[in-house]
A and B are shown apart, each in its own frame.
Chain A
Amino acid sequence: MARTLEDRTVLVIGAGSLGGPAALVLAGAGVGRLVLVDDALTNSADLSAQPALAEVDLGRPRAAALAAQLTRRFPAVVAEPVEAHFGGASAARLVAAADVVVDASSEPAVAFAANDAAVAAGKPFVHGGVLQLSAQVLSVLPGETGCLRCLFERPPAPEDLPAGLAAGLLGPLAGLAGALMGHEALHLLQGRPAAYAGRLLAYGARAGQGRLVPVRRRAGCEACGGAPAKEEASP
């Protein structure tokens, strides 16, 4: 018997400007269970770019606040907050329990950890990122498409990244990317063609121009290069 969206679990890593809209899209479409991983407290700047949160959430753990706001709007969804940094021993367990993994962390090191865990578990993976007036979205089908590490090999050094709020962000650009990530995850859950499977959308808001960059499997990729094809990986 075919599984419906109500029977599905999506792991959303990050409850900020990307995770909020992605989770709202998934809950609105009827996904049954959302696991929301985030270790931050809601701060004032979050209220400029996280559509699910309100002023009443200031100071609350962001994962719990997002979970509460989701269930207020969509009572049928089970929104489960995990107030922790994604990684370590719990990463594989969280990924194993999900049907699709969505990386909305905005942290390169976390994005690579999520990519590696999803590829190792054979779980479809949606990644998104926003920096200043640029956004990107990519989906990874383990064993079929290239992964984040095929494209970038390793996360950039912390000193090469703008720090925290200084990086700059316009909320609706993150909202656009997050909504596309949620939409992409829905397609993956429903077995429909995914727009960003094996191709990275890179959108520059100022010029209004988007590029779709093919992401092919790279021989020697530390995450997926030596992995067997998806069918062979199944028990």
Chain B
Amino acid sequence: MTASDVEAARFARQLGLAAVGEAGLARIRGSSVHVVGAGPVAGPALLALVQAGVGILYLDDGADVGPFDARTWLCTPAQVGQPRVLAAMEALRAASSLTTVRLHATGTRSSAALVCAETQGTATLASERERTAGVAHVVALASDEGGAVISIPPGAPCIRCASRPGASTQPRGGMAAAIGNLGALELLLLIVGAGAGASEGRRVELRDGRLDATPTLRRPGCDCHVVY
């Protein structure tokens, strides 16, 4: 079996999608993605991106594995106390040898990013770093019974324009995984150029079981239209 046969078998389901096809798969395979976070939102997203065949994944997380981090789907109880980013790397490499998984370092250049920071403030800082570097990215924020995922292609309204006021609460049950997967989904659509979020930016909100996208609009006075 050649390398291309292995990839055709692995990614047969994506190749079967008109919105992806061979051209979309080539864009996914050629992408390098910086993921901020390795917690309960980022973990399922990281697995989805590795399984989708992203070319290079850069991991960026400063926490140690805690007693509840099996909920990241990446860590085991035996890894408690270890750097979470190393536990994540081990799990992702076991999931697929077709993606290169590396630690993110200052100066690393990626073609896209997914921000799964656990607070709005950290997410805003990370998102602004990506936007000012001209990197297409998605921000995923979970709350108790829902959350929001914001797509920010270059030139689209920024995270501050797209954010809504609200208390930050810990996601319950499967909400972190739902928002993480939604974040990975929006990022893949952005990479393959499918959906309105890929060109204009949008916010998909999950609330009380409802899932709906709205285009993001630039706030009056925001200077995020400035291209650096």
Contact = CB atoms under 8 A, between A and B. Distances in A.
B188 to A, nearest CB: 6
A171 interface: yes
Interface in A127-160: 132-133
B71 interface: yes
Give the size category of A's interface with B: 35 or more
Nearest to A199: B209
A179 B174 contact: yes
Contacts of B71: 28
B116 interface: no
B141 interface: no
A168 B18 contact: yes
B167 to A, nearest CB: 20
A66 B208 CA distance: 30
Contacts of B210: 201, 210, 212
Contact of A206 (B12, B77, B97, B195): B195
Which secondary structure characterizes the binding site on chain B? helix
B95 A55 contact: yes
B17 A168 contact: yes
Contacts of B212: 208-210
Contacts of B17: 132-133, 168-170
B202 interface: yes
A53 B209 CA distance: 27
Interface residues of B, number: 57
Contacts of A209: 211-213
Interface string A155-192: 00000001001111111110110011111001100000
A165 B174 CA distance: 27
B182 A176 contact: yes
Contacts, number: 180
A48 B51 contact: yes
A72 B12 CA distance: 29
A78 interface: no
B120 to A, nearest CB: 21
Closest 10 CB pairs of A and B: A208-B213, A195-B209, A183-B174, A168-B16, A175-B181, A210-B211, A25-B174, A168-B17, A179-B177, A172-B48
Given A47-B51, A50-B51, 19 more contacts: A21-B181, A28-B71, A29-B173, A29-B174, A45-B12, A48-B10, A51-B44, A54-B91, A54-B94, A132-B16, A168-B15, A172-B181, A175-B181, A179-B178, A180-B174, A180-B178, A186-B173, A206-B195, A208-B202
Interface of B: 6, 9-20, 44-45, 47-49, 51-53, 70-71, 73, 75-77, 91, 94-97, 172-175, 177-178, 180-182, 184-185, 188-189, 194-197, 202, 204, 208-213
30 contacts: A25-B174, A44-B6, A45-B9, A47-B51, A47-B96, A48-B10, A48-B11, A51-B44, A51-B47, A53-B95, A55-B94, A132-B16, A132-B18, A168-B15, A168-B18, A169-B14, A170-B13, A170-B17, A171-B51, A171-B52, A176-B181, A183-B175, A195-B208, A207-B195, A207-B213, A208-B195, A208-B196, A208-B211, A208-B213, A212-B210
